[in-house]
């Protein structure tokens, strides 16, 4: 099976016309960059001399940032605390031209912050500040009301579940029911705690560890992969499952068809942070622009390849996608062969 670059280019040229709603756990990613020259005399740990800092959108907010970078309009829905971090996050959203109108301030929880210390281009440690309890019923009601108010004016929904309490069973069931009722494409970036609740969705994008854990079978070889992919597809009644496999690329399982294996586009891996966010954002943008599931998988794979080549949470643009895809096509056709096999 092969794809032509001309068809991919047509899809890329149509991206930028969709409104995509992202529901999930909104985070602030903090990076402290520095260098290590010595070991602490107090304990056998490195002393990092901080030279610079960065604040970036994380979690569902990073998915929204990727959607915006591709040219589509993201509608970000979730909760933040009433704290300094929420103010900083709102400022970052404004800089990226992402509306905060659908975000709810919840005084019962703090805004999630992931602080990463990076020394000599390597992450030394990560410190998390977060609350993980489920949404208060009143906050949950507000979120669902905002969802129902806007669902008729969107092209697709992405559920970005990081297990911080926004994607409760009630939210998941209601959002899924409404999307299926109205024919809205719904894609899920899963967390293992809710995995068996992601039923009847259009797409779910687990990595191979998450997929294997959810099905109860570790993926070691192709036979395991096929059993897990097909098994989850049937068990969850999903339209498609895209299993990301790191250096092995991705495998797409879709209802009524053989699986498609897509080789990795990454040439050098520096940081996998945010790669899953890029995959689901690019995939849904491509589908919204008329791509088939295989075409969307190829484009999303290119997005992941770009993201892991960057240090820190990063977004992928249309220009970056074109460059990544250009490395993988020769004479107009994809160089790496696809496999559709059992």
C-beta neighbour count of 232 within 10 angstroms? 22
List the catalytic residues: 277
What confidence tier does 223 reach under pLDDT thresholds 50, 70, 90? very high
Residue 85: inside a domain, yes or no?
no
Q: Of 272, 322, 280, 298, which Cα lies nearest the Cα of 64?
A: 280
Q: Of 128, 135, 28, which Cα lies nearest the Cα of 79?
A: 135
Q: Which residues contact 315 (CB under 8 A, 6 or more apart)?
A: 62, 65, 66, 68, 69, 274, 278, 307
CB-count exposure of residue 213 (10 Å: 0-12, 13-18, 19+) = middle
Residue 60: inside a domain, yes or no?
no
Residue 241: inside a domain, yes or no?
yes
The tokens for 130 are: 């977060």
- 166-194 pLDDT, tens per residue? 999 999 999 999 999 999 999 999 998 88
Question: In total, how many domains does the chain have?
Answer: 1
Q: For strand 112-119 and strand 122-129, is the pairing parallel, antiparallel, or unpaired?
A: antiparallel
Pair 24, 63: CB distance under 8 Å: yes
Residue 57: inside a domain, yes or no?
no
- 263-283 pLDDT, tens per residue? 876 555 444 566 889 999 999
- Given this model, what pLDDT does residue 201 score? 98
pLDDT at 334 over 80: no
Q: Residue 157: give its domain's CATH number.
A: 3.40.1190.20
Q: Which residues contact 256 (CB under 8 A, 6 or more apart)?
A: none
CB-count exposure of residue 14 (10 Å: 0-12, 13-18, 19+) = middle
Residue 40: inside a domain, yes or no?
no
Dihedral angle sign, alpha carbons of residues 53, 59, 63, 68:
negative
- 11-53 pLDDT, tens per residue? 999 999 999 999 999 999 999 999 999 999 999 999 999 999 9
Q: Of 184, 132, 138, 183, which Cα lies nearest the Cα of 158?
A: 184
- The domain in which residue 225 lies consists of 5-25+71-78+135-340
Residue 44: inside a domain, yes or no?
no
Pair 111, 190: CB distance under 8 Å: no
Residue 21: inside a domain, yes or no?
yes
Judged by average pLDDT, the poorest of 92-96, 138-142, 177-181, 300-304 is 300-304
The DSSP secondary structure of 41-65, one letter per residue, reads SSSSSEEEEEEEEEEEEEEHHHHHH
Residue 64: inside a domain, yes or no?
no
pLDDT at 335 over 70: no
The tokens for 93 are: 């959203």
């Amino acid at each position: 099976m092969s794809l032509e670059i001309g068809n991919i280019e047509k899809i890329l040229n149509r991206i930028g016309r969709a409104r995509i709603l992202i529901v999930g756990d909104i985070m602030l990613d903090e990076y402290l960059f520095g260098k290590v020259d010595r070991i602490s005399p107090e304990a056998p740990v490195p002393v990092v001399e901080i030279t610079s800092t960065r604040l970036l959108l994380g979690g569902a907010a990073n998915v929204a940032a990727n959607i915006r970078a591709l040219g589509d309009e993201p509608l970000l829905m979730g909760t933040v605390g009433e704290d300094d971090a929420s103010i900083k996050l709102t400022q970052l959203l404004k800089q990226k031209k992402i509306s905060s109108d659908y975000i709810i301030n919840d005084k019962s929880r703090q805004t999630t912050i992931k602080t990463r210390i990076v020394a000599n281009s390597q992450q030394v440690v990560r410190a998390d500040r977060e609350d993980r309890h489920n949404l208060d019923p009143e906050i949950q009601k507000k979120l669902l009301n905002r969802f129902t108010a806007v669902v008729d004016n969107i092209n697709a929904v992405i559920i970005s579940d990081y297990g911080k309490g926004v994607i409760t069973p009630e939210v998941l069931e209601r959002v899924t029911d409404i999307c299926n009722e109205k024919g809205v494409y719904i894609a899920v970036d899963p967390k293992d705690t809710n995995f068996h609740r992601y039923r009847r969705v259009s797409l779910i994008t687990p990595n191979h560890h998450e997929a294997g854990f959810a099905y109860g079978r570790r993926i070691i070889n192709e036979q395991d992969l096929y059993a897990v992919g097909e098994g989850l597809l049937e068990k969850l009644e999903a339209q498609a499952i895209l299993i990301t496999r790191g250096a092995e690329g991705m495998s797409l399982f879709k209802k009524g068809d053989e699986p498609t294996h897509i080789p990795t586009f990454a040439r050098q891996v520096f940081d996998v942070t945010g790669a899953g966010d890029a995959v689901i954002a690019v995939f849904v943008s491509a589908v919204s622009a008329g791509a088939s599931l295989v075409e969307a998988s190829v484009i999303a794979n290119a997005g992941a390849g770009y993201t892991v080549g960057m240090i820190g949470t990063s977004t992928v643009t249309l220009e970056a996608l074109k460059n990544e895809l250009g490395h993988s096509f020769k004479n107009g056709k994809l160089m790496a062969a696809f496999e559709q096999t059992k």
